[in-house]
Amino acid sequence: MKYALFVSILLGTLLFLDISCNNDTPDDGKPTGHISLSFIHLVDGLPLEKDIMKYVNAAGNPYEINQIMYFISDVTLHKADGTTKLISDWTDIHYVDIDIPSTLTWDVYDDIDTGVYDSISFVFGITKEKNQSFRFVNPPEVNMMWPDILGGGYHYMMINGSWKNNENVIMSYAFHMGIGQLYKSNVIEVDSIYAFVQNYFSVKLPNSAITVEENKTCNIEIVMNIDSWFISPHSYDHNFWGGAIMQNQPAMQMAKENGFDVFTVGKIE
């Protein structure tokens, strides 16, 4: 009898595990699908070519790009009735690095209710509440740390490269965005900091309507149009701003304002 009872319990446990592991439908019974985001990087509408001095920005600066790293967070799907779906089940912050192919695709873990979503939005960078030092402890994300004395947390973006100045000399630039600082009497020293500025911003992708189907994955290309960082509404001039903007809030503010049309949608499949 003890043996029969043991077998009965064992079979019941296995049956429960089988049902639990193979049931892809959430507890609410609604059908779901998934999304996957791919990150594409273009200059003047063509795929980025690294380490070649072949580009010219709106200010007439010849330039090249060596590295691009950035965070997007709080990706949200919007329906016409005002309901939203925040991507947060596995991760709500995604790191992109053009030199690490695995970061260029984000297979979102979240179950997404089926249906039509009118648009997609996200935060470029990380919000104040989430941008906390030591949130990431492993590379590559930990390499994006922003000094605590300058506001802490992490860079929103690093674009590193070179440009030719007015004397035709090749100079390095670090087009970095993160938390900005305000300085007393415009003295750029850490002891003069009296306030910090949050430079993250929201992006609502144009033409980003998608349809999520049951048990299928909708693949969405998010395109960074790199040249747009330097075009509108401000013509960004490396000769004026110099090689680094990390402690230069006016330069970061210009970059932030230019970011309004940097991201678009490519193919949706």
pLDDT per position as a tens digit, 156-184 = 999 999 999 999 999 999 999 999 999 99
pLDDT given for residue 27 in this prediction: 52
Check whether 20 has a pLDDT greater than 80.
no
Q: Are 164 and 170 in contact (CB under 8 A)?
A: yes
Helix, strand, coil percentages (3-state) for the chain, rounded to 5, are 20, 40, 40
CB 215 within 8 A of CB 252: no
Rounded distance, CA 98 to CA 248, Å? 25
DSSP-derived 3-state class of residue 20:
helix
The string of pLDDT tens digits covering residues 23-36 is 344 456 789 999 99
Residue 186's pLDDT is: 81
Q: Is residue 17 part of a domain?
A: no
Look at residue 104 and tell me if it is in a domain.
Answer: yes
Report the distance separating Cα 101 and Cα 233, nearest Å.
32
Strands (E), 103-142: 105-107, 112-113, 115-117, 119-124
Q: Is residue 76 part of a domain?
A: yes
Parent domain of 263: 30-268
Say what the pLDDT of residue 29 is. 78
Asked if the structure places residue 14 within a domain, the reply is: no
Please name which of 97, 112, 93 lies closest in space to residue 36, comparing C-alpha atoms: 112
**% of residues, the chain, pLDDT over 70:** 90
Mean pLDDT of 31-49: 97
Q: How does strand 217-225 pair with strand 32-43?
A: parallel
Give the torsion sign (CA, 111, 156, 69, 42). positive
What does the block give as tokens for 265?
């949608």
Please report which helix (H) or strand (E) contains residue 8, including its range: helix 2-22
Q: For residue 73, is it within any domain? A: yes
pLDDT (0 to 100) of residue 28? 62
Contacts with 28 (C-beta within 8 Å, 6 or more apart), sequence order: none
Per-residue pLDDT reduced to its tens digit, 194-232: 999 999 999 999 999 999 999 999 999 999 999 999 999
- Global pTM exceeds 0.85: yes
Which residue bears the tokens 């297979």?
107
Mean pLDDT of all residues in 231-254: 95
Query: What is the 3-state secondary structure of 152-209?
Result: CCECCEEEEEEEECCCCCEEEEEEEECCEEEEHHHCCCHHHEEEEECCCEEEEECCCC
Structural domain contains residue 22:
no
pLDDT in tens, 67-110: 999 999 999 999 999 999 999 988 999 999 999 999 999 999 99
Positive or negative: CA dihedral 12, 14, 17, 18: negative
Q: What is the pLDDT of residue 188?
A: 85
Domains in the chain, number: 1
154 domain-assigned: yes
Instruction: Compute CA 256 distance to the chain's CA centroid, rounded to the nearest angstrom.
Output: 14
Residues near 144 by Cβ (< 8 Å), separated by ≥ 6?
69, 71, 95, 136, 154, 155, 158
